[in-house]
Amino acid sequence: MMNKKEVAQTLGVLMVSGLKNVPVVKDKAIMDGLIEMWWRQFKDYTGEEMMTAIDKHNKRSKWFPAPADLLDYMIPVNKEHQVTASEAWEEAYRALSNYGREQGEAGLASLSHVVRRVVRGFGWRNLCNQNVDDFFMNKWGKIYNETRSQEIQADERDPERVNQRMIAESPTRLQLEESEGETDDEFLARVVVEGRKLLEGK
C-alpha cells in the first residue's frame, strides 16, 4: 500500500508526462492539499497498480486525469485480499468456537469468502477436532495463501465478482443461508439477486 511520499512521486511523474491541462501549483500548502487528496484516494493500492492505471489512461487520453479517471481502471480494493493467514485462522477459529460441530452451515455462512473456501476444503467437523500445532498452521497458511492468490487472479479477470461480494457482505441481513450441495458461486449469485432487490426497494 502506498504512503504519501510514493503518491507524491507518482503525481510528479504525471505532471511531467506531457499531458494537457496539467495543474500548475506553486503554493506549497496547495500542493500538500493536492497530495493529501490523491493519497486518500489511492492509499489502499500499490504503486504498481497506480502506474498500470496511469498507463491505461495515457493510452486513451491526452488530458491530465482526475483521481476518478484512474480509479476507473483499477479493481475495487478487496479487503479480503489483505487478510493474513493468521488473521484468517482467527476468523475461522471464532466461527468454529461460536457455532460448534453441529452448526457447520451457519458457521460457514458467517465467514468471509476466502476463509469459507479454505474451511470447506479442510472440512468443518474436521477443524472442530483439529489439534492446532505448528504443522497444522503451516498447512493452513500454505492452503490459505494459495486460495487467496486464486481469488485475486479471478477478481482481476472479472472485477464484477468484487462488486457482487460487496453486495453479499451481509447475507444474514437477507436471511439467506447456503443450501446443502450449493456451491459458493451459486450462493453468491442468489445473494446478489436478493441483495439488488433489497437495494432497489423491491
The CATH number of the domain holding residue 43 is 1.10.8
| 171 vs 63, more confident | 63
**Residue 184: what are its φ and ψ, rounded to 5°?**
-55, -45
Regarding whether 83 and 13 lie in a shared domain, the answer is no
Domain residues for the domain of 124 are 79-200
Give pLDDT, residue 114: 87
Q: What is the mean pLDDT of residues 97-122?
A: 89
Q: Provide the grid cell at 30.
A: 496547495
Whole-angstrom distance, CA of residue 62 vs CA of residue 17: 10
Residue 175 shares a structural domain with residue 122: yes
Does residue 34 sit in the same domain as residue 50?
Answer: yes
- Residue 6: predicted pLDDT: 86
The pLDDT of residue 170 is 41
Amino acid residing at 131: N
> What is this structure's pTM?
0.47
Rounded to whole angstroms, the Cα distance separating 73 from 56 reads 7
Do 47 and 94 belong to one domain?
no
What pLDDT, on a 0 to 100 scale, did the predictor assign at position 9? 84
Residue with the bigger pLDDT between 197 and 116: it is 116
Pair 181, 89 in one domain: yes
Residues 26 and 125 in one domain: no
How confident is the model at residue 61, as a pLDDT?
87
Residues 67 and 155 in one domain: no
Q: Are residues 115 and 162 in the same domain?
A: yes
Domain count, the chain: 2
Mark whether 116 and 84 lie in a shared domain.
Answer: yes
Is there a single domain that holds both residue 87 and residue 148? Answer: yes
Is the predicted pLDDT of residue 34 greater than 70, yes or no? Answer: yes
Last residue of a domain, one of 71, 88, 109: 71
* Domain final position from 71, 105, 124: 71
Which of 109, 2, 114 shows the shortest CA–CA distance to 51? 2
How confident is the model over 6-30, as pLDDT tens digits?
888 888 878 877 788 887 777 888 8
